[in-house]
Structure 1
């Protein structure tokens, strides 16, 4: 009997850091078997320490839901370069732009998240953000910080400082 290639388990192991699109960076603490609805399933048990949350993801579904390994150092550098670019805001209604930003954040794609941080960042000389704008900015900044920290083995404050430096360079340019 041949196995279907789509059911091949992604190569994640306990203690690996992974990106779950809807929640950001988490750490696989174990791979367990669980019976759900009469089916025996193998599950990744992922801990999101900051949120004090544990998530169980069927190993067969990990790829289809967008769970991925951490970005490469090259992607991190591209994300930091993205932050230095010029903010791009469309002239669409805020509700439409907010939806697009939310989709980018939840995509789990580091470069898309960096674009949201770049576009929503406000310098000291700029007007105050609305509540919803600030919420989206902080969510994107948190995801970006956590992934950069995990990829470069930094603590969150050091990763945040790298991001801030890139954003300040943009403002000075």
Structure 2
């Protein structure tokens, strides 16, 4: 897929483990006598700029921001989905880390949901607190740029 077919300047994207960002430019750079096109992405959480070769974008798991229709299903699972209470801390950590790495909004919302539920029952350990904070920040960074989303919908994930 050509760069022009994948993303355009101004598109909101989600980069797994980094949250939402915006394509600010598509630039051509030369390294080791080879010219390549790069997406220049400004990340909303860290405010850092990331450059990713356009030819590697499909393997990076970067995706467009979720639309409002898909968000309704995510909200339903977030509010009514079941949490697996019988996992050990180590199993939970592995599963949650893998979910966050997918970059999928549903997976991220499940991590936030499950850790928020656990936090209500007992104090989270330092690692799970950090994971909850990061997963929640990634989720909110995407929610804030979904076109047509209401403040009430965003708050339903808090």
Higher relative contact order, structure no. (Cα contacts within 8 Å, ≥ 6 residues apart): 2
Deviations 1:117-159 (A, max 9, x none): 111113785221111111111111111111111113669x866
Deviations 1:87-132 (A, max 9, x none): 4125333122212101111211001111111111137852211111
Where do 5+ consecutive residues of structure 2 fail to align? none
Query: Do the aligned residues in 2 keep the contact of 1:122 with 1:129 (CA within 8 Å)?
Result: no
Query: Do the aligned residues in 1 keep the contact of 2:13 with 2:63 (CA within 8 Å)?
Result: yes
**Residue 62 of structure 1: how far off its partner (Å):** 0.7
Distance 1:152 1:130 in 2: 35
Query: Do the aligned residues in 1 keep the contact of 2:28 with 2:38 (CA within 8 Å)?
Result: yes
**Residue 85 of structure 1: how far off its partner (Å):** 1.7
**2:21 aligned counterpart, secondary structure:** strand
Please report the TM-score for the alignment, with normalisation by the length of structure 1: 0.80
Query: Do the aligned residues in 2 keep the contact of 1:85 with 1:118 (CA within 8 Å)?
Result: no
Classify 1:96/1:36 alpha carbon distance in 2 versus 1 (closer, same or farther; 3 Å).
farther
Classify 1:70/1:86 alpha carbon distance in 2 versus 1 (closer, same or farther; 3 Å).
closer
Distance 1:100 1:64 in 2: 21
Matching of residue 107 in structure 1 with residue 102 in structure 2? yes
**2:41 aligned counterpart, secondary structure:** strand
Name the structure 1 match of 2:41: 46
In the TM superposition, structure 1's runs of 4+ consecutive aligned residues that sit over 3 Å from their partners are 122-125, 152-155, 157-160
Name the structure 1 match of 2:155: 161
Name the structure 2 match of 1:4: none
Q: 1:35 aligns with which of 27, 30, 35?
A: 30
Query: Do the aligned residues in 2 keep the contact of 1:72 with 1:151 (CA within 8 Å)?
Result: yes
Where do 5+ consecutive residues of structure 1 fail to align? 1-6, 165-173
Aligned residues: 157
Higher CA-based Rg:
1
Q: 1:96 aligns with which of 87, 91, 98?
A: 91
